[in-house]
Structure 1
């Protein structure tokens, strides 16, 4: 970039205080590509959602505990901050108590979420917003050093996107801690998912513009103590996630779960299932395929399963289920865990009633499907957080 171009870049500083809503939204509207909107330390009391639709803008606070965008007085039901432009960096601030999603980006390529906190300060409630950070329909997504608490659907959610990295983040006291849905090529690593209903979910759902999720790596995470009762609104897909689920893979292809620490998840450390709801999408595949579970560290699991029939199964197996649970559907499922048994229900299809299950301890061929290649994001995204 030339010296003249650098000179034309601006930093727009906005501080808390009277008329913060109008001043902050004006700064987001008036920013030019390459500008930084700097949020001063303190608490911004906001009454409406904010939006950004200018490319190549950085929104930067003084720290995720120092700069707080509070939406406790929000009058509408929308998200706290909506981004619909490319090459945006969001960093070093917090969003609290939005009526809808905390921060949503849609169709925003090369989006960076860095060192953010999104929280519903009243604790887990059905009336909390659905998603904490919510990038959707995007290419190249980085979520790094983000903390989310209290989302009534998923704390960190990436949907219908590709080339995704979620790392070094903490999700706690959400329904789903981290969720990758209908997406291609994702690395989820170095995160902590604890005290959620379910820790990390990899889903594929029907009737969406992008389906056939594949090539997901979930590795080197700590997924423990997921013990929060499910508080999702009725009808949401995550309302069916059993309390005490560590990692759940549903209707996805080429998913590798390895090197994680999994413990104190009352239903299962790892749950592998097909999509069981009725659907009419002829292009949708409800089965898991080419799923590999290997080299994880398993602690206590399956001691109080909350899914239908789980308590009876646990009783029949001496009081607890094995750490890995598979409904029996799908193909090329590999569990290569040392001395870790896997319970399979032996269901021929996801639509088979549970009362026709034939539970048994499964044995697997040690052969493994090829691991997806690591996700490589554009260098500009990594440079933005240095």
Structure 2
């Protein structure tokens, strides 16, 4: 007969972790040199004499935290107190309905700067998980990866590579993939060599109230269905917000994505993606890029100081062998945005191509004009075109946003008949408005938010 294991209480887990870990002061800023980073304090430095033995009882932070994750049962709350947790191995969780809660994203810091093993800082392979109020710094690979979850919430979580933009940084900060009911709220993501906040091959997604900066892609929604990206700031990335659909992935045909009420500004970081990454082709100074998705709405955003273009709508540009893949964007609507000072210094081959067609500054909104061959003969079906509503922008006469259908296919295939168009009336109308995603705030996070406001 096997004895029944009792679930540790949140208090027991908190006390056991406090007894195992050392504590330091607040996290250094992103610009601070690596050699200036603070080292873990000793027990004498960190705590009163009465607590010194507890604070140094088991300095192996990895063992203490991983044991707590393994011992957890559904419903457990694992609380990590304030401090810098120096970890040499990646952590993993595969138990459903667990909350990992810190004392704040600048108070509880999981540091992987000396990580020796593991492809991520934290790997989650379970559902109903809430991650809140802590930071993951300097992971060897991805900071936090979540696979196959039904219900995953990142609440006030920070991921950062503290040395700043570097191709040796991990690819992704927050990285839920093949999941559904995804909530990212109040997060900060810095320094990722692919995307700071990335949601891939997932369904029913909300990304809100978050800051993405100094990444290649600030926020990326890829091969996903039904996503809302709103009330975020995407700044100082290579590209601010990307909505992509790519071939050769288990889930494709990305659709029903809304990007609204965001500040997408000053995306001016040179592309530092490792060679071969699809985002390595994104020009510095891209505000929003929609590639090969359908049913995408971009509205009520502030889009400013992005040197290549404010919004780019493009087909997938590379060769592919996936017979089920559809490379063209369709049903794209852009309205009620404010564009300021975009397209002033287009970057890389893509920027040069656009500028050679449009001149500089590049128009606020750029569509490459690529459509399936048969649409040249049949016309674009209703609700499957590119629709441009009223946007405030750089046209000196009207104050409206400027636009170009660059007709890139014509530029290369029949240059003598190349016919780019700036005619906005050709793109009037719109698509049926999307209803958007609905991911409720988990109870643990809601209770924490209410307590902090009292």
TM-score range, shorter chain: over 0.9
Say whether residues 1:94 and 2:135 are aligned partners. Answer: yes
Aligned residue-pair number: 380
Higher-helix-fraction structure: 2
Q: How does 1:245-284 map to 2 (within 5 A)?
A: 245-284=286-325
Aligned to 1:334: 387
Taking a change above 3 Å as real, the CA distance of residues 191 and 349 of structure 1, as seen in their structure-2 partners, is farther
Distance of 2:346 and 2:196 partners within structure 1: 23
| Structure 1 match to 2:106 | 65
Equivalent residue number for residue 433 of structure 2: 371
2:262 equivalent to 1:209: no
* Contact 2:266 2:304 survives alignment (8 Å): yes
Q: 1:8 to 1:19 in 2, by over 3 A?
A: closer
Q: Distance in 1 between matches of 2:190 and 2:414?
A: 35
Over 3 Å counting, the alpha-carbon distance change for 1:212 and 1:350 in structure 2 is farther
**Aligned counterpart in structure 2 of residue 179 of structure 1, from 216, 220, 225:** 220
For residues 277 and 329 of structure 2, what CA distance do their matches in structure 1 show? Answer: 21
Superposed CA RMSD: 2.2
C-alpha distance in structure 2 between counterparts of 1:70 and 1:113, whole Å: 18
CA shift, 1:374, in A, is 2.4
CA shift, 1:369, in A, is 0.1
Equivalent position SS for 2:204: strand
* Kept in 2: contact 1:47–1:73 (CA 8 A): yes
Q: In the superposition, relative to structure 1, how do residues 65 and 354 fare at CA in structure 2: closer, same or farther (>3 Å)?
A: farther
Residues 307-316 or 195-204, more deviating:
307-316
Contact 1:153/1:174 (CA < 8 Å) preserved in 2? yes
- Once the two structures are TM-superposed, the CA of residue 19 in structure 1 deviates from its matched residue by 1.0
Q: Does 1:234 align with 2:234?
A: no
Deviates more, 1:339-348 or 1:192-201: 339-348
**Cα distance in structure 2, aligned partners of 1:53 and 1:137:** 15
State the alpha-carbon separation in 2 of the partners of residues 285 and 247 from structure 1: 20
Larger radius of gyration: 2
Q: Is the 8 A contact 2:386 2:427 kept in 1?
A: no
- The C-alpha deviation readout for 1:48-106, integer Å capped at 9, x for no partner, is 10000011110000000000000000012510000001100000000000010000000
SS in 2 for 1:25: helix
**Which one is further off, 94-103 or 331-340?**
331-340
Q: Could you tell me how far apart the structure 2 residues matched to 1:10 and 1:350 are?
A: 66
Residue 359 (structure 1) shift: 3.3
Return the alpha-carbon distance in structure 2 between the equivalents of residues 228 and 101 of structure 1: 20
Aligned ranges for residues 1-386 of structure 1 at < 5 Å? 10-11=9-10, 12-13=13-14, 14-15=17-18, 16-17=21-22, 18-76=59-117, 78-308=119-349, 310-311=351-352, 314=355, 319-330=360-371, 331-338=384-391, 339-348=400-409, 358-363=419-424, 364-378=426-440, 380=442, 383=446, 386=449
**TM-score, normalised via structure 2 length:** 0.80
